[in-house]
Amino acid sequence: MIHEQVRKVSSGYLMLATLAVAQLALAYAIFLAAVAISVSGIIAASLASVIVAVCWAGFFMVHPNEAKVLQLFGKYVGTAHEPGLKWANPFYAKTAVSTRVRNFESGKLKVNDSRGSPIEIAAVVVWKVFDTAEALFEVDDYEEFVRIQSESALRNLSTTYPYEPHEGEGVALRSHPVDIAQALRAEIQDRLETAGVTVIEARISHLAYAAEIANAMLRRQQASAIIAARTQIVAGAVGMVEMALSELKKNSVVELDEERKAAMVSNLLVVLCGEEATQPVINTGTLYN
């Protein structure tokens, strides 16, 4: 496996001045040789001028958050990171690799969760290149590699967890977004390690049941919500009835036998748990008439 090697290259500004002076000096030398009718001098100065002209091809620019991967006849010789005008061997092939933070959103994937329910899911992945040599030489196209492996990791994650928890289950896609984001990032990072890419963040951007079961799942969610609400209402009503009986007994407001207590509990539960507003009824007799 090829790993990145940081290579120091010459300042382009210094080499620019040096080559400019050398070019002018050689042009003047050719002129003097031509005046002196010196064939050997003309040939020597011309060859030197050709060498200087080739050296001009060694200039290259490194932008901020960019690297240039240097190769000599197919052999990796290093990576230049320092921004600015630089100069290196003119025979080096110089390939630009961006080290900026990048992100992409996967398409909506239709997969089955851990219970086999069809769902639609998509994710946003934030990443950057940290090893330029691995990114260029270990995979064919590192950008396409990131996209495909991220979608593959997302599919695998979706089959590992349920869409939503039931009956005290653990982590689920909808109810634990932070845990799911951490698990997704770790799985994508494992797949991209060989490509010289680090995953900064990965999170779910779209999550829904597939269209064919969306209506059925919506009804189930509504039923669960109604049951939870009813449970809370009944628990609160029982507490209020218990408090009412306790206060009546504590303050000696009225003495109730078991039958009257049962009637009072029934009436209070109807008032507190009923969906419709209750209508008061005045009893002009007694409980027994």
pLDDT tens per residue, range 61-92:
999 999 999 999 989 999 999 999 999 999 99
Residue 281 lies in a domain: no
In a domain? residue 33: yes
**Which of 48, 71, 97 lies at the terminal end of a domain, its last residue?**
97
287 lies in some domain: no
Q: Between residues 13 and 36, which one has the greater pLDDT?
A: 13
Of 65, 100, 98, 106, residue with least CA distance to 202 = 106
Residue 252 lies in a domain: yes
Q: What are 159-163's contacts with CB under 8 Å, separation 24+?
A: 159/111, 159/112, 159/113, 159/114, 160/114, 161/113, 161/114, 162/113, 162/114, 162/115, 162/117, 163/113, 163/115, 163/117, 163/119, 163/207, 163/209
pTM over 0.85? The answer is: no
Residue 288 lies in a domain: no
Q: What is the pLDDT of residues 18-63, one digit of tens each?
A: 988 988 888 888 778 788 777 787 888 888 888 888 999 999 999 9
Do 80 and 46 fall within a single domain? Answer: yes
In the DSSP assignment, the letter for residue 78 is E
Cα–chain center distance at 160: 19
Establish if 4 belongs to a structural domain: no
Asked whether residue 165 carries a pLDDT value surpassing 70, the answer given is: yes
Residues 192 and 234 in one domain: no
- Domain match, 87 and 118 both: no
The whole-number pLDDT of residue 213 equals 61
- Residue 232 domain boundaries: 214-273
pLDDT tens readout for residues 206-232: 988 877 666 666 666 666 667 777 777
Banded model confidence at residue 127, pLDDT cuts 50, 70, 90: very high
Read off the pLDDT of residues 230-255 as tens digits, 9 standing for 90 and up: 777 777 777 877 787 777 777 766 66
CA 147 to chain centre: 12
pLDDT for the residue numbered 287: 53
Residue 111, in any domain of the structure: yes
Q: Are residues 66 and 16 in the same domain?
A: yes
> What is the number of domains present in the chain?
3
- Do both 119 and 184 map to the same domain? yes
Question: Is residue 107 domain-shared with residue 200, that is, in the same domain?
Answer: yes
Domain CATH code at residue 135:
3.30.479.30
| Residue pLDDT, tens place only, 105-119 | 988 888 888 888 888
Region 129-133: what's the mean pLDDT?
93
Q: How many CB atoms lie within 10 A of CB 212?
A: 8
**Joined tokens for residue 136:** 């260029």
The answer to whether residues 200 and 256 belong to one domain is no
Residues 6+ apart with CB under 8 A from 126: 101, 102, 103, 199, 200, 201, 202
236 within some domain: yes
